[in-house]
């Protein structure tokens, strides 16, 4: 597991990428691993005394074991809660996979055993007029962890995402079933279908923990790191 870096993507927006990423970091910490996480681009940030800060990036910063300046963890923070490529255009910036990969590689010089790079939205979210966030994972040749948000439509979203990841030539390191909709009908049947249809390591099912104290640490108990390779 030493010095392993994974790219975390989701079936769609609000699938729970940050929640599961934080849980994986807590899991790594509990196993004595030095953990890091990066959120290269984040929209929906708030202006604070130190500058723009994104709540998801702050969650990752709190969950990882190693210290890192916020600007390393989240080099591109945008205030509007809109598609990142549009937010970047409005800020007069152009994001690119190669530029983001450079920031990530620099940050990952911090000594660690286990690290995550979290994307934005799903696999095909645009990065600029030609590239997607998936091109960052391709640029760095990273194995991918897919967070499947369990709600209506999740089977189709999961299978399409996994097909796209495989078509891009990247390893699917594992997938997590995250129960984001507590009112989902036939949840167990949907999960059973996913288990049958998904040919990738299953890292665990995380129940809906919205009202639990220290929910991310609790979620870590449902996840498995040894299957990540």
Domains and CATH numbers, the chain: 4-220 (3.40.50.300)
Structure tokens at 166: 């495989």
- Rounded distance, CA 106 to CA 100, Å? 10
- Rounded distance, CA 99 to CA 76, Å? 11
What is the distance between the terminal CA atoms of the chain, rounded to a whole angstrom? 7
Instruction: Give the confidence band of 229 by pLDDT, cuts at 50, 70, 90.
Output: low
**From the DSSP assignment, how many helices (H) and strands (E) are in the chain?**
9, 10
Instruction: Give the confidence band of 50 by pLDDT, cuts at 50, 70, 90.
Output: confident
- The predicted model scores a pTM of 0.95
Q: In this predicted model, what pLDDT tens digit does every residue of 1-40 receive, in sequence order?
A: 456 999 999 999 899 999 999 999 999 999 999 999 999 9
User: Is 55 annotated for ligand binding?
Assistant: no
- Segment 133-137 mean pLDDT: 97
* Residues 83 and 122 sit within 8 Å (Cβ to Cβ): no
Based on the residue annotation, tell me whether 4 is a catalytic residue of this protein.
Answer: no
Q: In this predicted model, what pLDDT tens digit does every residue of 173-215 receive, in sequence order?
A: 999 999 999 999 999 999 999 999 999 999 999 999 988 889 9
SS percent in the chain: helix, strand, coil, step 5:
35, 25, 40
Active-site choice (4, 27, 39, 217): 39
* Residues 228 and 174 sit within 8 Å (Cβ to Cβ): yes
- Segment 129-144 mean pLDDT: 97
User: Is 178 annotated for ligand binding?
Assistant: yes
User: Is 113 annotated for ligand binding?
Assistant: no
């Amino acid at each position: 597991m030493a010095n392993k870096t994974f790219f975390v993507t989701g079936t769609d927006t609000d699938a729970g990428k940050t929640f599961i990423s934080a849980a994986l970091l807590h899991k790594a910490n509990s196993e004595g691993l030095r953990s890091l996480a990066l959120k290269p681009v984040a929209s929906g940030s708030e202006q604070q005394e130190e500058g723009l800060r994104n709540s998801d990036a702050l969650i990752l910063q709190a969950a990882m074991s190693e210290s890192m300046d916020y600007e390393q963890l989240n080099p591109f923070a945008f205030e509007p809660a809109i598609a990142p490529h549009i937010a970047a255009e409005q800020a007069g910036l152009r994001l690119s996979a190669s530029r983001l990969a450079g920031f990530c590689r620099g940050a990952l010089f911090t000594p660690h055993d286990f690290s995550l790079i979290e994307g934005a939205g799903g696999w095909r979210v645009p990065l600029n007029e030609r590239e997607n966030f998936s091109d960052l994972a391709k640029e760095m040749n990273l194995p991918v962890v897919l967070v499947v948000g369990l709600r209506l439509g999740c089977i189709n979203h999961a299978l399409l995402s996994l097909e796209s990841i495989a078509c891009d030539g990247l390893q699917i390191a594992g997938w997590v079933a995250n129960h984001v909709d507590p009112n989902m009908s036939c949840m167990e049947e949907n999960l059973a279908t996913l288990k049958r249809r998904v040919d990738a390591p299953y890292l665990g099912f995380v129940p809906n923990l919205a009202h639990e104290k220290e929910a991310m640490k609790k979620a870590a108990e449902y996840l498995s790191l040894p299957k990540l390779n």
